[in-house]
Amino acid sequence: MRLDIFLPFLRKAKKNAPPPRDGWLLRGARKILPANLFADRVAGQPGLVRRTLKWLGPSWVAAPWRRVIQGVCFVLFLVLFYYVCYPYTARPSQTWTAWQPTKIAEDQAIILEKPQGEIVGLKPGMIVYAADQGSWRVNEAAEGRIVLAAEKNVPPEKLEDLRFSLGGPWDLSQDPPGKWPSHYADSLAAKEKIHAESFLIIDPLVAISTSLASRTWAWSLIFAVGILAVGVIVPRGFCGYLCPLGTLIDLFDWAIGKRVTRFRVADDGWWVHIKYYLLLGTLVASMFGVLVTGFVAAIPVITRGLLFLFDPLQTGLERGWHQVPPMNAGHLLSLVLFVAVLGLGFFKPRFWCKYVCPSGVVFSLGNLLRVSERKVESSCINCNKCVEICPFDAIKPDFTTRTSDCTLCQSCGGVCPTQAIKFVERWNRVELKIENDPPTRETAIGRRGFISLAAGTAAGIVGGTALALGTKLSGANLDDPNSPRPVRPPGSVPERQFLELCIRCGECFKACPNNVLHPLGFQQGLEGLWTPQVVADWAGCESSCNNCGQVCPTGAIRALPLAEKKVARMGLAEVNLKTCLPHAGKEACQLCVDECVHAGYNAIEFMQVRTEVDAAGQPVEGTGFVAPVVVAEKCVGCGLCQTRCYGINVLEKKLLDESAIIIRAGEGKEDRLMSGSYQELRDAEAEKKKASSKPAGGGDYLPEFLK
């Protein structure tokens, strides 16, 4: 078994030696591509391809396929994060209003006209809907004139009626009248050819730690097992080829890190084993129900870092700077952490990957089951070029392999002048060089090493335990029913499990239209830091969107179909009777009612308040106000009412200091299910209310005024 995919070192062929034989791929390429692209293997002269790769850097000319795979994966990661998760490619259903039917032709086609009527989006062949008139196919569409043909669901008697009376103006729409809007959900589903959270679900530390913390089976464990299985063939292949954080660190080291050398450290300091103790501490904390993966796992670190660093720029440039939500202390801490990860490159290139990253340790432990391995043959001349180019400190001083660190990146194979390096099956023993020549000074663990190992292990256990206990003591305080609860996204699991499952990756923030979700600061201490909360003063949850659950990699937010999401309660709207303008008798206002009706929930109704009465006790006509009342069983806590009240009455008119209707979470105000149907929950509540409204002996329902 040979897994060599590096570009062999180019050297001049020996005199009278047969020319080296090219592989089948290279032979085929030589037949169809210009000869100047390829190296002269006899004379040892590089071609245009090699010269270009050399200009890009030594690792490119040594292992170009690895660099190409890295680049493709990094671009894919950026596309998934900045395009697939970006919600503003969605477009709501179009409408075309006030088209007047003027004639019905013999072929049952109806001609509609409207002076200077725009037909943007109307194309021949598409189906449109007219209220109370069924569905129609567009035959022709020109400025000011549309020709529609009846679909099968338009009954003949309707066409016959239209012959006698074409009626008033028609309003046309892309969707049937009354259909629940779904453009945000549809847009994400159409773009998500690959799961937006793909890189998160293949980070094994994410799956393992969330399963330990929540004591449940995380669905991403399946993908973690899959990538670890691939690692049996390509040990630590995730680190060498796929990880976008590793690629970003490479870019940083190339652009900045290599230019600053004053902080360089040795290869054998105390920091060499930090990653093992960090992994131990992370898993210990998870066993106590505290998830710190968001601080240390590779993919959450890069997703949240790129979110806080570049999402404001994308939003500001594309939608306006007023749409960029404010930052808090949590944002700054995350950015400091992200910059620190990159800044470690000043100590050594890829310092994070070599010595710190606990995600990489999981793959290192997986290397114990490897079936392939880097081997060095006896033709090795001890030139040290492989050591110099190795990005993972995986080559010993005797030029053999530290198998737990090797990622099979194959850069070493491409710089070996004697082609002594091969990537073969683990049990291959053909023509191998003598180990410990030159001496590595690496021996079996001695007393000092044992003490160091014991101290590091103890530090990992004690540190993880102390972090877990400290986080719990200064955390969310879930045992106190009076402790305020943040409003979580629709479909969030119960709060305790939510904090144990959420890895603070930031995917839900990126996928959320209008930035309804904001990262929590330190209101719940470290336990709730960077978790998503609904900030209804900023925006309300769109009725056509279920994106947050679709991109969540751990199930902290359940992936709900839109039909389930629209009945899942995030909280309950509460009207402040002292500040609400009509309740306080200041002026008429129905902003919240209009917004709720427009969203399709119809959860706020009117009641008459402050009506004056005459001497006979009769209401005086023209007095009082109609004021909003929340129908609790219909309200899902979307926050659109609060957004509207805050935007108009607080910001624009400055009539209030805060919104008069506010979404509250807590016991009895939200649905937090680990599993099951929200629709069934609503149906059960409706049945219970229906039963309780009957007289004790059964029979008909009581009239409303007698209840």
pLDDT digits (tens, 9 = 90+) for 310-368: 999 999 999 999 999 999 999 999 999 999 999 999 999 999 999 999 999 999 888 88
What pLDDT is attached to residue 443? 61
Phi-psi region of 442 (alpha: psi -120 to 50; beta: other; left: phi over 0): beta
For the chain, the structural domain boundaries read 109-181, 198-365, 495-565, 572-676, 678-707
Does residue 438 have a cis bond before it (omega within 30 degrees)? yes
pLDDT greater than 70 at residue 445: no
State the DSSP string of 130-168: ETTTEEEEEEEEETTEEEEEE-TTS-HHHHHHHHH---S
| Model confidence pLDDT, tens digit, residues 634-668 | 999 999 999 999 999 999 999 999 999 999 999 88
Distance of CA 340 to the CA centre of its chain: 22
Nearest to 81 by CA among 170, 197, 175: 197
Question: What pLDDT band is residue 161 in, cutting at 50, 70 and 90?
Answer: low
Question: What pLDDT band is residue 449 in, cutting at 50, 70 and 90?
Answer: low
What average pLDDT score do residues 553-569 get?
Answer: 94
State the DSSP string of 190-251: HH-SS-TTHHHHT-HHHHHHHHHHHTS--TTHHHHHHHHHHHHHSTTHIIIII-HHHHHHHH
| Model confidence pLDDT, tens digit, residues 374-395 | 999 999 999 999 999 999 999 9
In angstroms, the CA 519 to CA 325 distance is: 10
What pLDDT is attached to residue 703? 45
What pLDDT is attached to residue 704? 46
Higher pLDDT, 26 or 529: 529
Question: What pLDDT band is residue 619 in, cutting at 50, 70 and 90?
Answer: low
The pTM score is: 0.89
What pLDDT is attached to residue 164? 59
Q: Answer yes or no: CATH 1.10.3470 is held by domain 495-565.
A: no
Task: Record the tokens describing residue 290, joined without a space.
Answer: 């505290």
| Mean of per-residue pLDDT scores for the chain | 87
* Range with lowest mean pLDDT among 431-440, 457-466, 488-497: 431-440
| Model confidence pLDDT, tens digit, residues 530-544 | 999 999 999 999 999
* H helix runs in 367-520, sequence order: 385-389, 411-415, 447-473, 495-501, 507-511
What average pLDDT score do residues 509-513 get?
Answer: 96
> 10 Å Cβ neighbour count for 324?
15
Task: Record the tokens describing residue 183, joined without a space.
Answer: 């453009």
pLDDT greater than 70 at residue 528: yes
pLDDT greater than 90 at residue 580: yes
CB 411 within 8 A of CB 66: yes
Question: What pLDDT band is residue 623 in, cutting at 50, 70 and 90?
Answer: low
In angstroms, the CA 245 to CA 234 distance is: 19
| Model confidence pLDDT, tens digit, residues 114-128 | 888 888 888 898 999
Question: What pLDDT band is residue 707 in, cutting at 50, 70 and 90?
Answer: very low
pLDDT greater than 90 at residue 245: yes
| Model confidence pLDDT, tens digit, residues 118-157 | 888 888 989 998 877 778 899 988 888 889 887 766 666 6
What pLDDT is attached to residue 162? 67
What pLDDT is attached to residue 217? 85
In angstroms, the CA 535 to CA 570 distance is: 12
What pLDDT is attached to residue 698? 47
What pLDDT is attached to residue 159? 65
What pLDDT is attached to residue 437? 79
The percent of the chain in helix, strand and coil, each rounded to the nearest 5, is 45, 10, 45
What average pLDDT score do residues 469-497 get?
Answer: 88
Nearest to 282 by CA among 203, 363, 358, 341: 358
Report which secondary-structure segment, H or E, holds 285. helix 274-287
What average pLDDT score do residues 396-402 get?
Answer: 91
What pLDDT is attached to residue 308? 95
Give the largest CA-CA distance in the chain: 124
CB 2 within 8 A of CB 423: yes
pLDDT greater than 70 at residue 420: yes
* Range with lowest mean pLDDT among 29-38, 198-207, 650-659, 690-699: 690-699
DSSP state of 553: S
- Looking at this protein, which amino acid is placed at residue 321? W
| Model confidence pLDDT, tens digit, residues 265-310 | 887 778 888 899 999 999 999 999 999 998 999 999 999 999 999 9
In angstroms, the CA 276 to CA 284 distance is: 12
Question: What pLDDT band is residue 564 in, cutting at 50, 70 and 90?
Answer: very high
What pLDDT is attached to residue 10? 85
What average pLDDT score do residues 476-494 get?
Answer: 88
Task: Record the tokens describing residue 299, joined without a space.
Answer: 């993919």
